[in-house]
Structure 1
Amino acid sequence: MNVTVNDIEVDVDAWPTPQLAAVHELLRQRACELGLLPDGAGEIEVERAIERTLAQEVAVPEPTDEECRRWYEANAQRFRSGDLVCARHILFQITPGSPVPAVRGVAEAALHEIQADPALFEKHAREHSNCPSGANGGNLGQLQRGETVPEFEKAIFGDATLGVLPQLVTTRHGFHIVAIDQRIEGRQVPYELVSAEVAAELRKRSEARALSQYVRVLAGGADISGVELDAAASPLVQ
């Protein structure tokens, strides 16, 4: 795939996606326009110049205490201490070279069988799970927040569901069939103890929105071929 930004060809092989490669080139060119990047600069200098460009041109508003309190109240379940979940799982592992659609298909077929007859969970865990817990019927014991990967934690602590979860849980390790056997509620952590964490989360979200808008503006004024980027015709509002 040939990707160009303002007639400069971009090496997309060095990036996870062509879009990211094009965005990086947009930012590099903007750093040059601002006089922050000399000719012949090396990779480290380019990254530092891009950081200075973003710091100079992208304003990230600080969240107010009122905004933080509203977000805390809307997401109160994220700020609990001592919540415990007794869970079992069956892991269908993804390894380099694994045929992902095929693995997912096997996992979904097993999930459908278990939903029809939950008593089959232990049998499937012993026969198919790629986790050592499979030898114990998939039993993970009691889990608390912070003990599993974020994707798995979100699935088991996201609501009050008991029994076999209706969908596969996808993590960096593969596809999981998960059963929740018991929930032991902890206590709500007061806003005052997590206000800094809430502010940091809102600041991160605000920064992501501001950067996205900034990139769209740059894309709107650039000649880009070989890849689609959202473009904004209006100027960036700082």
Structure 2
Amino acid sequence: MSRRLDVINLGDPAQRPEPKMMSSCETGGCSGGPEPLLPPPPTFGEVRINGVEIPPEAIAQEIQHHPAPDAEAAWVEAARALAVRELLLQEAKRLGVIAEPGTDEIDRSEVEDDATIRALLEEEVVPAEPGDSECLRYYEANEDRFRTPELFEAAHILIEPEGNSEQAWETALERARGIVGQVGDSPEAFAGAARVNSSCPSAQQDGSLGQIRRGELVPEVQAGLEALAEGTTAREPVRSRFGWHILRLHRRIEGRTIPFDVVRERIADMLEARSWSVEAARYVASLAARNRVEGVLIAEGL
């Protein structure tokens, strides 16, 4: 299992959060492209691990990977991350840990220090392996997480207004209402009307939207489908920013609970990863307690 102690941003730098950006207008000018949010000068003392200083320039560079409510908090998080990194590298050197840098799934080479830290944590951090009973308890307590989504097999006819005026919208609404009156609940009539009248590319598939999960449609259309009985067409068109939608619900497919045997391995991986994170944080805190750390509180951020 691939593991990473998030609090210190171990591993591939490409996996770190994107830096927070501010537009030039937000920073006082309107010259064009986005500019990085730079930290203020540090407001605390030097950061050292066993006498080795973490340069302020390195903290300033690291800060982009630590979104925070304000710049000073981001500076503290960046300083803590680099302090932990230095602490682990010193411990790996003390123990004589040697690691061969690897590559990821797209053949990017691992940084040597990252490989060393990874090897150290693999040797020193041992997560608890969850048994069947623990996995089953988690499954039973979180059964709603192991359900397939409810699906709506639906179709629509989109009638776009010819312009943005209220009159154009009213005209499009009347046209949509006329189509509703013609098709009723007949699936054949709906399909024919979709091919002739709909402005959506789905017109070529009789207006079919396929099997839709909640959240995949704009809220107005989703709410309209939720209110329909299977095999019926909405008697009133639904308005969205795209136009008027004539909705038809072919059928509703209820979600089902996935059997424990199917998800048992996934649960075990999740519980083991959670255990690893806890044990890794404890390991780092114990290192901090045994070494001389100045300028930042490591255990506070774990």
TM-score (norm. length: structure 1): 0.51
Q: Please tell me whether residue 228 in structure 1 is matched to residue 275 in structure 2.
A: no
Partner of 2:47: 3
Q: Deviations over 1:24-75 (max 9, x none)?
A: 111111111011259xxxx822111111111111111211111101011111
Structure 2 spans left out of the alignment, 5+ residues: 1-41, 66-77, 100-109, 153-210, 218-251
**1:131-188 alpha-carbon deviations (Å, 9 max, x no partner):** xxxxxxxxxx95358x79xxxxxxxxxxxxxxxxxxxxxxxxxxxxxxxxxx985111
Matched, 1:218 2:284: no
RMSD: 2.8
Is the aligned partner of 1:52 residue 2:52?
Answer: no
2:60 matched to 1:13?
Answer: yes
2:253 and 2:285 map into 1 onto residues whose CA distance is 46
Distance 1:193 1:144, change over 3 A: farther
Identical aligned pairs, as a percentage? Answer: 36
- Asked if the contact 2:89/2:117 (under 8 Å) is kept, the reply is yes
Q: Quote the residue 1:190 is aligned against.
A: 259
For the structure 1 residues 188 and 9, does the alpha-carbon distance in structure 2 shift closer, same or farther, using more than 3 Å as the test? Answer: same
* 1:88 alignment partner in structure 2: none
Alpha-carbon offset, residue 14 of structure 1: 3.5
Looking at both structures, which has the greater relative contact order when contacts are Cα pairs under 8 Å and sequence separation is at least 6? 1
TM-aligned CA distance change 1:84 to 1:224, over 3 Å: farther
Matched, 1:24 2:85: yes
Note if contact 1:3-1:9 (Cα within 8 Å) is conserved in structure 2. Answer: yes
1:100-111 map, 5 Å: none
1:34 alignment counterpart: 95
**Structure 2 letter corresponding to 1:51:** R
After TM superposition, where is structure 1 displaced by more than 3 Å over at least 4 residues in a row? Answer: 141-145
- d(CA) in 1 for partners of 2:261, 2:289: 43
Shift of 1:21: 1.2
From 274, 282, 297, the equivalent of 1:205 is: 274
Contact kept, 8 Å, 2:285 with 2:299, in 1: the verdict is: yes
Contact 2:149/2:213 (8 A) holds in 1? no
Residue 185 to residue 223, structure 1, CA distance change in 2 (3 Å): farther
How do 1:16-165 residues align onto structure 2 when only pairs under 5 Å count? 16=65, 17-36=78-97, 44-83=111-150, 142-144=212-214
**Contact 1:37–1:45 (CA under 8 A) maintained in structure 2:** no
Larger radius of gyration: 2
What's the TM-score once normalised by structure 2's chain length?
Answer: 0.41
Code of the residue aligned with 2:124 in structure 1: it is E
Q: 1:56-100: per-residue Cα shift (whole Å, max 9, x none)? A: 111112111111010111111111012359xxxxxxxxxxxxxxx
CA contact (8 A) 1:76 1:188 kept: yes
Kept after mapping to 2: 8 A contact 1:83/1:185: yes
**Structure (1 or 2) with the greater strand fraction:** 1
